[in-house]
Structure 1
Amino acid sequence: MPYVFDLWSLPHQRAPQGDWRSWVILGGRGAGKTRAGAEWVRALAEGPTPLSAGRARRIALLGETYDQVRDVMVQGDSGILACTPPDRRPQWKATERRLIWPNGATAQAFSAHDPEALRGPQFDAAWADELAKWKRGQDSWDMLQFALRLGTDPRVCVTTTPRNVAVLRDLLASPSTVQTHAATEANRANLAASFIEEVRNRYAGSRLGRQELDGVLLQDVEGALWCNAGLVGAQVRSAPPLDRVVVAV
């Protein structure tokens, strides 16, 4: 039962139906983004399943660094190895930075610090984790697009906490992109209650809280009279007494 993700996955962790090139999962910290990406890769490698109508033979795993790909996407608590049943678990070959499934499917690790490494290889699927914090985000994303050229319908899953960066804004605006979203609380069953209480008490209502907990992409319009940072800075704990309110006419 723990490995039958189709039965207990949350709505934002399920790939949308229809034609799309990129699926972006925006979510707060702990919302289950990594598990969704790992299960999507597993479904494609093992496929076809209800989560994946097709099958991928060559998959790219792209994170900010090689260590983060290994420690989070591959070997992490919600990574590919942890979510795969023992009888079909892929083998991680550290020297090759590659996962190899018993059926021959492979997944190769790449670092967003080294976009040139994506020149040459080609894939029919990719999982990109924490795109919004990549230092060379645009370069790495562009090189990945050129590498996604195998099969009849190459696709990429992007799992990220939102940040107001151009590469993410442009991706979300693309007509070939679909999106799912969830706040941290959506996955509260798998999180410590004290964690949720503490971070909500500290950050609820703040710009950081909206981004890191609610998973909201905050965008200020250039030249606007009011910006989000200014509104947050003007917040007070309680309204002043009415006899101290001055109304300008």
Structure 2
Amino acid sequence: MRSLRNPEKLLGVLPFAVLGLVWWLVTATGVVHRNVLAGPPEVWRATTDLASRGLLQDDIVTSLLRLVLAMAVSLVLGVGLGLLAGLNRPVSDFLLPLVSFFNSISGIAWIPLAIVWFGLGTVTVTFVLVNSIFFLIFFNTVLGVRSVPAVLENAVKTLGGGRRELVLQVYLPGALPFIMSGIRGGFGFGWRALIAAELTAATSGLGYLIYNASNYARGDQILAGIIVIGALWIVIDMAVLAPIERRTVQRWGTVRQV
């Protein structure tokens, strides 16, 4: 009943239903041979087989732990250093061109060099993820601090507030919408970089699951991995990131969402 009151949610599901129907038709009618594109029944069996052996769950947990680790490192460094740079105009002017340069470089581009430096494994994947996430959070934090109206800073100073009050009551809340935008975007960039890094620089995780399946020409497992990756991101974004962004901005931000 609740979904009937929110037709926009049903509208969001419709494209997936249409895509699934087209997928089933082109494979069931033989328009595309199943050796080229596995059909929904084969992909479902591959998914349940991987899950029954615990392989799918292990790879999901491994990938999520790597993403959380890289996100935690990037968040602490990005927000902390971003606040420091944002509060010091000459420092931010000095660093922003360099940050823009590295931010424009996809974290995936670091994979070959990271493999040379660290070999295959979690260290390499984490390094690639941090390079995908950190600069975006740092850049957004600096922009957020610099966008805080001067009148708010002057008001706190007039009331006798010091540096600590300015940071906690003005700059951090004022920059929060930018920071949350950087975090949400960082998660997206990090998720894509994670899969790419696991394809070539790891021996576990969802990316490796796809790569390993390709070695045995298991198109059903490849599609199963792709679908799980997409579904997981939708869950993370809609059930975790969007509510956190909305509630933190409403609670601590200096802007009001409408």
Task: Decide: shared fold, TM above 0.5.
Answer: no
- The structure that is strand-richer by fraction is 1
- The normalised TM-score by structure 2 is 0.22
- The structure that is helix-richer by fraction is 2
Higher relative contact order (CA 8 A, sep 6+): 1
- Larger-gyration structure (1/2): 2
